[in-house]
Structure 1
């Protein structure tokens, strides 16, 4: 990870989680998460170590540019790094961009415990609060029932007219078609 002024980046706390700046010692665990075929089932492919480290660098650059991003998630006193949760600006162009997306990626051992929802709520509170965002989106493929359930628990709404073909995924690929969910600061 390239040097960064992490002191200016916020840390978020929830009852069970700490959403914090990234550290270099997070990278091996992050690479293991990104290499897990179950975690990456709804992405075009798992990531090797080089691609995982490059993603971590892009996450850090996002923090430097916007002051917030995809926070490293830890369970204080239990697990130093279990994945990420936070807000990111998609790098592709679509009918709903530019925008900020709430997203998460957790190690499989931490699925089914409500951590994605808990962390995403904290990220949304930050996005609609200090960051001053009016709308936050999230998107995934229709088969990703776990993430869709998180989006719905967060109060996000889908309009089928918003669904889209992800421009970074080739035509004909089974993961190209995505559902888009939205949440406005007003809750409407």
Structure 2
């Protein structure tokens, strides 16, 4: 099934808006992934994103949305439109399932945005009937990121190895009747 990429928000929560990244968002995305402190748990070996790399990721995410109906979404604050980061789903080829992820700009850490985003996206994923389950994982040393799946009710599963790192891993599913 092909999905149409919407011009407006895909979904919203109380404070957040989620939309498909557009090609012109590459500079913002590159900026998000240029903070070494924010990148240290993201399996990139210190790689800072260029605008060209960000544009290539946006193209992949747009393709994922067109094919699967989900993506890594641009996360903005509803009250003022400020760019906060990204949150959404990618398809994990290794495990053959959607994977929930989030990256919040460091200036916005500690405000509950990751938990609010993850909770809304989990509900949205099942409301849209995109699949029966999804996973999430985080480097164990990143306590804040590990806490998010727990807070939204994901079930801890056996650790998964991601790019050679053993990660705290979680899943959420829906029961079909």
In the TM superposition, structure 1's runs of 4+ consecutive aligned residues that sit over 3 Å from their partners are none
SS at match of 1:45: coil
Over 3 Å counting, the alpha-carbon distance change for 1:148 and 1:70 in structure 2 is same
2:46 paired residue number: 45
1:10 shift after superposition = 6.2
1:79 shift after superposition = 3.6
Is 1:89 equivalent to 2:91 in the alignment?
A: yes
What TM-score, normalized by structure 2, do the two folds share? 0.86
* Aligned counterparts of 1:163 and 1:180: Cα–Cα separation in 2: 5
1:64 shift after superposition = 1.3
Q: Is the 8 A contact 2:87 2:100 kept in 1?
A: yes
2:171 paired residue number: 182
Give structure 1 stretches of 5+ with no counterpart.
171-175
**Counting strand residues as a fraction of each chain, which structure ranks higher?**
2
Alignment of 1:1-188 (within 5 A): 5-7=4-6, 11-43=10-42, 44-49=45-50, 50-91=52-93, 93=94, 97-159=95-157, 162-166=158-162, 169=163, 176-186=165-175
SS at match of 1:20: strand
1:109 shift after superposition = 0.9
1:45 shift after superposition = 2.3
What TM-score, normalized by structure 1, do the two folds share? 0.81
* Aligned counterparts of 1:142 and 1:21: Cα–Cα separation in 2: 29
SS at match of 2:107: helix
SS at match of 1:42: coil
* Aligned counterparts of 2:4 and 2:151: Cα–Cα separation in 1: 34
Give structure 2 stretches of 5+ with no counterpart.
none
Would you say how many aligned residue pairs link Structure 1 and Structure 2?
A: 170
